[in-house]
């Protein structure tokens, strides 16, 4: 016994001795960074990181999908098979309550919509995304969708991937431009892994996040996209979400029908967006989250009970329609109806088209986490199929599968304001490159029509209202990334309107290195300014020191900057006023001054930061 204790003691002593000699994690990482700076160029290292980010984004997407399928398989298993339709009402409510509990008890922070929050992080946070977003959507989105919430997983996949990309960039101390590029790489990786469409994934990242498609950014995007799709193939094999290969060729005689489909999908896209905004604004009036949850949960439960194809993401509906099997697509509908009758199918597909947007938005408004990407595909496939069936019922002979595909393109182009992504995604995942002409035609018509009535997509509407939307205009992007708070100078000596000229000279001019003095009242409200040049002629007239007050000497500022002004608005005020310094006010309280020289200096620095 004593020998065993002695032997164990010797082993423990040896382990402790070895462990003390081992460098800790921070030291190892520091050595890795030093080695990298010595032997790997910045460009080469960005390539390495893009592969890593693509792999992580692909892995995150796989986790999302598998968790969702796990919950779906449990809820659709043998023990609920016979009463499954009765539980369509209760499942989504249970899912929403679980998500609500996770968000409030564990995460304790707002998750937000994946692509919108990522765009905000790029425009206003220099690409820095909070760490909790690496796992927040992984926990909540599969429960929302797996329990029947009528939403998709693409938005959460992008949110997770973008957070991972930002985290990797921060870990290796990359600059702002590289951080944003890696977020774009993660977005491409999430898309590539989800649909196994690496080309469309790159276009999606460029189109949605307004990335600069130069050689320096194209190669990392390619590497990330390929890395993610290889990850998906490694874990899932050749299994794809939309398993359809093009069967019917494009017929030039169908061109007019495609024009009509483009108009139809454009109108449907406007409807989708307007419904989303209306329902979202309605739920914002309900102040308490629990009340929103209960009210929204009951609505979504009723919708899924009455229209079961709205349940979950909806890939089953899309694939069944592509295969020409509408009966299979509508098999979950419990009513005793003859779905061999084409008009019955048309009516129910139109119902799905109308209510998919309502079901999706209600899921979000009630507190669920998901994306809008897949619901647009579901809605577009149903609408495109309806178009083809109606044409064929009146004596036409068009391909229902082609119209189903191109209907998805039209809705995606219109709702997401991403026509190129819509064209290449559908062409790539289905091998439908022979349909490029109708794909381009319908996407262009749908996008143009939607853009006319809805200037910004669901992703960007709130950011656009706040002037925080990234575009392909580099000047505007740089100005948007600048923060007003960082421009304010506060080394101005404030004076009171009741002061005499003599008091100002003693307490203001003598203590200040500036030639400008803000005039503030007792409540720190800005009233005007006094310029040293304006009072210079009075400096040698001492008899005026006690006679003149600041209230008489001050004058109005040529313009006032409000704290919530955008940098673009600030630039415009300097241009219109011709001033060199302008005061900044928040809630009627004086904050300081912004000088034109500081503004231009920071602008130039930020421009170099994000473009070099």
d(CA 441, CA 407) in angstroms, rounded, equals: 11
* Same structural domain, 181 and 42: yes
Percent of the chain at pLDDT above 90? 18
Domain ranges, residue 573: 480-611
CATH code for the domain in which residue 586 is found: 3.10.580.10
d(CA 267, CA 449) in angstroms, rounded, equals: 7
* Same structural domain, 141 and 7: no
**Confidence band for 592, pLDDT divided at 50, 70 and 90:** confident
CATH code for the domain in which residue 177 is found: 1.10.3080.10
Q: Any residues with CB less than 8 A from the CB of 98 and at least 6 apart, and which? A: 143, 147
Q: What integer pLDDT is reported at residue 354 of this predicted model?
A: 93
**Confidence band for 573, pLDDT divided at 50, 70 and 90:** confident
Q: What integer pLDDT is reported at residue 350 of this predicted model?
A: 93
- The string of pLDDT tens digits covering residues 271-309 is 999 999 999 889 988 888 888 889 988 898 888 888 888
Q: What is the largest CA-CA distance in the chain?
A: 104
Report yes or no on 162 lying in a domain.
yes
* Same structural domain, 27 and 113: no
Report yes or no on 256 lying in a domain.
no
122 vs 83, more confident = 122
Last residue of a domain, one of 236, 253, 272: 236
Report yes or no on 447 lying in a domain.
no
Q: What integer pLDDT is reported at residue 554 of this predicted model?
A: 84
Range with the lowest mean pLDDT among 22-26, 101-105, 194-198, 513-517?
22-26
Using alpha carbons, list the distances in angstroms from residue 428 to 51, 140, 200, 249.
Answer: 22, 30, 7, 16
Report yes or no on 185 lying in a domain.
yes
Q: Any residues with CB less than 8 A from the CB of 592 and at least 6 apart, and which? A: 488, 489, 490, 492, 583, 584
Q: What integer pLDDT is reported at residue 12 of this predicted model?
A: 43
Q: Which of 239, 233, 228 is nearest to 186 (CA)?
A: 228
| 179 close to 49: Cβ distance less than 8 angstroms | no
Cα–chain center distance at 240: 25
**What mean pLDDT comes out for the span 90-118?**
83
| 392 close to 250: Cβ distance less than 8 angstroms | no
- The string of pLDDT tens digits covering residues 215-263 is 567 889 999 999 998 988 887 766 556 666 677 788 888 899 999 999 9
- The string of pLDDT tens digits covering residues 186-195 is 989 999 988 8
* Same structural domain, 167 and 181: yes
Q: What integer pLDDT is reported at residue 565 of this predicted model?
A: 81
Classified as helix, coil or strand, 111 is coil
* Same structural domain, 138 and 25: no
Report yes or no on 550 lying in a domain.
yes
Residue corresponding to tokens 């178009």: 387
Using alpha carbons, list the distances in angstroms from residue 542 to 20, 54, 365, 501, 547.
Answer: 77, 74, 69, 9, 10
**What mean pLDDT comes out for the span 490-505?**
84
Report yes or no on 583 lying in a domain.
yes
* Same structural domain, 3 and 126: no
Q: What integer pLDDT is reported at residue 233 of this predicted model?
A: 83
d(CA 192, CA 201) in angstroms, rounded, equals: 5
* Same structural domain, 42 and 8: no
Cβ count within 10 A of residue 601: 12
* Same structural domain, 16 and 151: no
Last residue of a domain, one of 180, 210, 236: 236
Cα–chain center distance at 112: 9
- The string of pLDDT tens digits covering residues 338-390 is 777 888 889 999 999 999 999 999 998 888 888 888 899 999 999 999 999 99
**Confidence band for 581, pLDDT divided at 50, 70 and 90:** confident
Last residue of a domain, one of 205, 236, 267: 236
Rounded to the nearest 5°, which phi and psi values hold at 171?
-60, -40
d(CA 332, CA 322) in angstroms, rounded, equals: 18
- The string of pLDDT tens digits covering residues 595-609 is 888 888 777 777 666
* Same structural domain, 218 and 113: yes
Q: What integer pLDDT is reported at residue 597 of this predicted model?
A: 82
- The string of pLDDT tens digits covering residues 150-198 is 888 888 888 888 889 888 888 888 887 888 888 889 989 999 988 888 8
Report yes or no on 395 lying in a domain.
no
Residue corresponding to tokens 């946070």: 125
Paired residues of 590 in beta bridges: 585
- The string of pLDDT tens digits covering residues 40-51 is 777 888 889 999
SS3 content of the chain, % helix, strand, coil (to 5): 70, 5, 25
The pTM (predicted TM-score) of the whole model is 0.76
d(CA 466, CA 127) in angstroms, rounded, equals: 18
d(CA 256, CA 18) in angstroms, rounded, equals: 78
Report yes or no on 339 lying in a domain.
no
Structure tokens, 378: 């579901």
* Same structural domain, 497 and 567: yes
| 160 close to 187: Cβ distance less than 8 angstroms | no
d(CA 105, CA 109) in angstroms, rounded, equals: 10
Q: Which of 566, 599, 584, 594 is nearest to 520 (CA)?
A: 584
* Same structural domain, 31 and 118: no
* Average pLDDT of the residues of the chain: 81
Q: What integer pLDDT is reported at residue 472 of this predicted model?
A: 53
Cβ count within 10 A of residue 506: 13
**What mean pLDDT comes out for the span 488-497?**
85
d(CA 81, CA 440) in angstroms, rounded, equals: 43
d(CA 226, CA 210) in angstroms, rounded, equals: 20
* Same structural domain, 1 and 58: no
Using alpha carbons, list the distances in angstroms from residue 39 to 33, 43, 168.
Answer: 10, 12, 20
Number of domain units in the chain: 3
Classified as helix, coil or strand, 338 is coil
């Amino acid at each position: 016994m004593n020998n065993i204790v002695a032997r164990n003691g010797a082993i423990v002593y040896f382990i402790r001795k070895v462990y003390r000699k081992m460098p800790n994690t921070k030291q190892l990482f520091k050595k890795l960074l030093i080695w990298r700076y010595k032997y790997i160029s910045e460009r080469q290292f960005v390539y390495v990181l893009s592969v890593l980010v693509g792999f992580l984004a692909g892995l995150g997407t796989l986790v999302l999908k598998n968790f969702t399928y796990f919950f779906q398989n449990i809820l659709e298993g043998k023990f609920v098979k016979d009463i499954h339709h009765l539980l369509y009402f209760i499942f989504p409510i249970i899912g929403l309550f679980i998500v609500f509990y996770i968000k409030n008890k564990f995460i304790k922070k707002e998750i937000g919509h994946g692509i919108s929050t990522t765009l905000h992080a790029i425009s206003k946070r220099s690409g820095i995304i909070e760490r909790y977003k690496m796992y927040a959507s992984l926990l909540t989105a599969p429960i929302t969708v797996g329990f029947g919430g009528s939403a998709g997983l693409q938005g959460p996949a992008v949110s997770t991937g973008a957070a991972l990309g930002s985290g990797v960039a921060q870990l290796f101390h990359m600059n702002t431009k590289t951080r944003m590029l890696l977020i774009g790489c993660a977005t491409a990786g999430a898309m590539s892994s989800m649909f196994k469409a690496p080309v469309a994934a790159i276009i999606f990242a460029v189109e949605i996040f307004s990335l600069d498609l130069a050689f320096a950014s194209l190669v990392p995007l390619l590497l990330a996209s390929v890395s993610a799709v290889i990850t998906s193939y490694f874990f899932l094999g050749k299994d794809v979400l939309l398993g359809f290969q093009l069967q019917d060729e494009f017929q030039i005689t169908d061109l007019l029908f495609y024009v009509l489909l483009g108009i139809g999908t454009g109108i449907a896209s406007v409807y989708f967006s307007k419904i989303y905004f209306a329902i979202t604004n309605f739920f914002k009036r309900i102040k308490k989250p629990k009340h929103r949850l209960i009210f929204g949960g009951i609505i979504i439960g009723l919708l899924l009970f009455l229209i079961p194809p709205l349940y979950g993401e909806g890939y089953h509906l899309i694939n069944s329609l592509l295969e020409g099997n509408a009966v299979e697509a509508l098999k979950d509908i419990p009513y005793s109806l003859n779905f061999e009758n084409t008009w019955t199918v048309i009516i129910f597909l139109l119902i799905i088209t109308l209510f998919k947007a309502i079901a999706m938005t209600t899921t979000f408004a009630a507190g669920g986490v998901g994306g809008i990407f897949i619901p647009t595909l579901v809605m577009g496939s149903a609408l495109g199929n309806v178009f083809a069936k109606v044409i064929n019922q009146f004596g036409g002979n068009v391909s229902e599968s082609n119209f189903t595909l191109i209907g998805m393109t039209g809705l995606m182009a219109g709702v997401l304001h991403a026509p190129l992504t819509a064209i290449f995604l559908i062409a790539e995942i289905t091998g439908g490159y022979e349909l490029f002409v109708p794909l381009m035609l319908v996407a262009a018509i749908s996008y143009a029509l939607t853009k006319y009535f809805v200037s910004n997509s669901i992703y960007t509407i709130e950011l656009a209202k706040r002037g925080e939307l990234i575009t392909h205009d580099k000047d505007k992007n740089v100005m948007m990334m600048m923060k007003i708070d960082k421009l304010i100078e506060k080394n101005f000596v404030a004076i009171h309107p009741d002061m005499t000229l003599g008091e100002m000279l003693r307490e203001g001019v003598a203590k200040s290195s500036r030639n400008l003095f803000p005039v503030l009242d007792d409540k720190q409200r800005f009233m005007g300014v006094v310029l040293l040049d304006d009072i210079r002629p009075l400096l040698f007239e001492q008899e005026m020191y006690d006679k003149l007050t600041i209230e008489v000497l001050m004058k109005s500022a040529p313009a006032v900057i409000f704290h919530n002004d955008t940098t673009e608005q600030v630039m415009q005020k300097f241009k219109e006023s011709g001033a060199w310094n302008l005061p900044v006010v928040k809630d009627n309280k004086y904050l300081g001054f912004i000088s034109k020289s500081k503004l231009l200096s920071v602008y130039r620095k930020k421009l170099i930061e994000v473009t070099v």
